[in-house]
Amino acid sequence: MLKGRLLAIAKEVPPSKCIADIGTDHGLVPVWLIENGIVQKAIITDISSKSLAKAEGLIKQRGLESKIEARTGDGLKPIKPGEVDTVIMAGMGGMLIRNILTDAPCVAEKVKRFVLQPMTAQSALRKWLVENGYAIVDETLVREDSRFYEIIVATHGSQRIYNEVYYDIGYMLIKKNDPLLKEFIKQKIDKTNNIIHHLERQNTENSINAAEEFRRKLLQYKEVYQWVLRLNKS
Ligand SMILES: C[S@@+](CC[C@H](N)C(=O)[O-])C[C@H]1O[C@@H](n2cnc3c(N)ncnc32)[C@H](O)[C@@H]1O
């Protein structure tokens, strides 16, 4: 039933008593986790009652009303402190995920594992996590058509980032030599080159400074690309 991005997210959830899927929408991930015996109970939330109704329809259809509880609300606010071991937040912007973590500190501090799949601002989210008492313990890349999705798994803890390129290309992706890493970096290099060409055409003071910053990033990406090529030759 699950595949691609959603399956990769579900696979990052360890056997748990109770998990929460925040911004669940369709509810496919918690249903899969319950039906595969990975979690005993799930709480699903969504800020939109219309979205949550989709998940509730699926839960009813699968007869899982006793195992999956739906709550309408903002971020982690519908969850009580200590109620869940693992939190999934997927398909939302990175800054929204950051705000959700900041807005409910009493709930967030009791959660053991966060499975995050930001659609945007992935680098900013990694930086925020590392600077705010979280450690990134795993990462996975998924590609659907030409789009890459970055799944970031975090726990409470401390972590040192030795090179700021690891905010753009997760260190764990390099450490585990993710099968999609080479193509992911190649796409990053191509996109950065396009941005630089676009900025160079504008020729304003701001665009000149921005182009300089992107050239610096490009060099870092190319360096990591070379490491990955070497890693795959040895
Ligand atoms: C694009 S869907 C992602 C659905 C699913 N998690 C996935 O990854 O496929 C984003 C969902 O997040 C919900 N959402 C947005 N802001 C939210 C918030 N502050 N708290 C809870 N849910 C939110 C939206 O209503 C929407 O259903």
Q: Quote the pLDDT of residue 196.
A: 97
Instruction: CATH number for 4-160: choose from 3.30.70.890, 3.30.300.20, 1.10.4160.10, 3.40.50.150.
Output: 3.40.50.150
Enumerate residues lining ligand 1, CB below 6 A.
Answer: 22-25, 45-48, 51, 74-75, 90-92, 96, 100
**Strands, sheet with 16-22, edge to edge from the N-terminal-most edge strand:** 68-72, 39-46, 16-22, 86-92, 113-118, 147-156, 134-144
Q: Average pLDDT in the 160-165 region?
A: 94
Indicate whether this model's pTM tops 0.85: yes
- Give the residue whose CA is nearest to atom 5 of ligand 1: 24
Atom nearest to 48 CA in ligand 1: 25
% of the chain beyond a pLDDT of 70: 100
Residues 118-138 have pLDDT tens digits of 999 999 999 999 999 999 999
Rounded to the nearest integer, the mean pLDDT of the chain is 97
| Cβ-based neighbour number of residue 215 at 10 Å | 14
| Cβ-based neighbour number of residue 120 at 10 Å | 13
Residues 57-81 have pLDDT tens digits of 999 999 999 999 999 999 999 999 9
- Give the residue whose CA is nearest to atom 13 of ligand 1: 23
CB 180, CB 172: distance < 8 Å: no
Q: Is the pLDDT of residue 203 over 90?
A: no
Give the distance (Å) from ligand 1 centre to CA of residue 96: 10
| Cβ-based neighbour number of residue 177 at 10 Å | 12
d(CA 141, CA 101) in angstroms, rounded, equals 23
d(CA 181, CA 207) in angstroms, rounded, equals 29
Q: Identify the band that residue 87 occupies on the pLDDT scale cut at 50, 70 and 90.
A: very high
| Residue that is written with structure tokens 């807005």 in the block | 103
Q: Cβ-count burial of 129 within 10 angstroms (0-12 exposed, 13-18 middle, 19+ buried)?
A: buried
Give the distance (Å) from ligand 1 centre to CA of residue 48: 8
Q: Where are the beta strands (DSSP E) in 76-223?
A: 86-92, 113-118, 134-144, 147-156
Degrees (nearest 5) of the Cα angle 31, 6, 48? 65
- Give the residue whose CA is nearest to atom 17 of ligand 1: 47
Q: What is the DSSP letter of 80?
A: P
In this structure, the strands spanning 86-92 and 113-118 are parallel
Which of 12, 43, 51 to mutate to test ligand 1, by most ligand atoms within 8 A of the CB atom?
Answer: 51
Q: Identify the band that residue 233 occupies on the pLDDT scale cut at 50, 70 and 90.
A: confident
Give the distance (Å) from ligand 1 centre to CA of residue 189: 30
Q: Quote the pLDDT of residue 1.
A: 79
Q: Identify the band that residue 227 occupies on the pLDDT scale cut at 50, 70 and 90.
A: very high
Which of 28, 48, 72, 96 to mutate to test ligand 1, by most ligand atoms within 8 A of the CB atom?
Answer: 48
Q: Quote the pLDDT of residue 103.
A: 98
d(CA 40, CA 18) in angstroms, rounded, equals 6
